[in-house]
Structure 1
């Protein structure tokens, strides 16, 4: 079993609560708009870290993290892209990849809106963890924790960050 901490849209904002809530996680994933190398480095120093760059990320982050990250963890294929849309309305930049070879889990950020939805047509779970930073229109900062075991997703928790 692999325990995942998932966040997005930090926009260079650091909160020590990231580490507190992800203390039980084996890996941390960031769905883009990291905002600074310092935030990425603090997360990477804490746990194995996977990320994609977002539309606000500069060349320093784009040189290190890809636009699309596709990988397998504990029997589940994962695809992360910052601007990806959601079931029924995938962004054109990723729609073809999802339709041709859907992963078991598609993660996107960008909207700052927390959403967990199963796409019955593609047999794929979609997660947008919302925004963990303070920049943007969202009123509540959110992150997600979940487990992957033998290709199945379990124990999904939504974390609301106060303050």
Structure 2
């Protein structure tokens, strides 16, 4: 029998959520300056649109990641608490989250190796598209959610736009999924991982 997903009520408050374990500043692999390429790659787990449901396959998909980025529509504190048991978490609010929650910013800019990662839910643009996101944000890597559709796109300047798809309840006949970003110096590889 397959493991049951952790189902968390979307009405649960996320006000008391904080990073557990190491903070971002303590995560040894995050660098604020140049990074030698001889070090192992920095791996970021990317998740979005959990809507209170954290599938057990996420723990395996994110095994060994240095950081988890949640692109909104979290759906409750327990999702973030469970993710924080895997790795440090940076999360933003989505359209179903409490916009007044001080722990869930609307957007974050995060240094990753020699690059900068922007994360927001995408709903601030109405119907987000890679073109709108690239026009609005200047970071090297742009992560968003909201559409529930997997997207991996590079622009002519080499900037990367990633939507990991939705990891929560299955909607719109789309396969639930997450992503992993493997960052080595300024090179980024993306893996989309389907969830059961």
- With the shorter chain as reference, the TM-score category is 0.7 to 0.9
Structure 2: state its 5+ residue gaps: 1-40
Q: Which residue of 1 aligns with 2:72?
A: 32
Within the alignment, does 1:103 sit opposite 2:143 as a pair?
no
Q: Which residue of 2 aligns with 1:63?
A: 102
Does the Cα contact within 8 Å between 1:11 and 1:135 map onto a contact in 2? no
Runs of 4+, deviation exceeding 6 Å: none
Alignment partner of 1:114 out of 150, 153, 160: 150
Q: Which residue of 2 aligns with 1:6?
A: 46
Within the alignment, does 1:50 sit opposite 2:90 as a pair?
yes
- Distance, in Å, in 1 between the alignment partners of 2:110 and 2:141 is 10
The TM-score, its normalising length taken from structure 2, stands at 0.72
Counterparts of 1:151-162 in structure 2 under 5 Å? Answer: 151-154=186-189, 156-162=190-196
- Distance, in Å, in 2 between the alignment partners of 1:118 and 1:140 is 23
State the structure with more CA Rg. 2
Kindly provide the CA deviation profile for residues 108-144 of structure 1, in whole angstroms up to 9, marking residues without a partner as x. Answer: 1000000001122x54110001100005324310111
CA RMSD of aligned residues (A): 1.8
- Distance, in Å, in 1 between the alignment partners of 2:97 and 2:51 is 8
Structure 1: state its 5+ residue gaps: none
Displacement of 1:150 in angstroms is 1.1
Displacement of 1:17 in angstroms is 1.1
Alignment partner of 1:129 out of 161, 164, 170: 164
Displacement of 1:89 in angstroms is 3.3
Within the alignment, does 1:150 sit opposite 2:185 as a pair?
yes
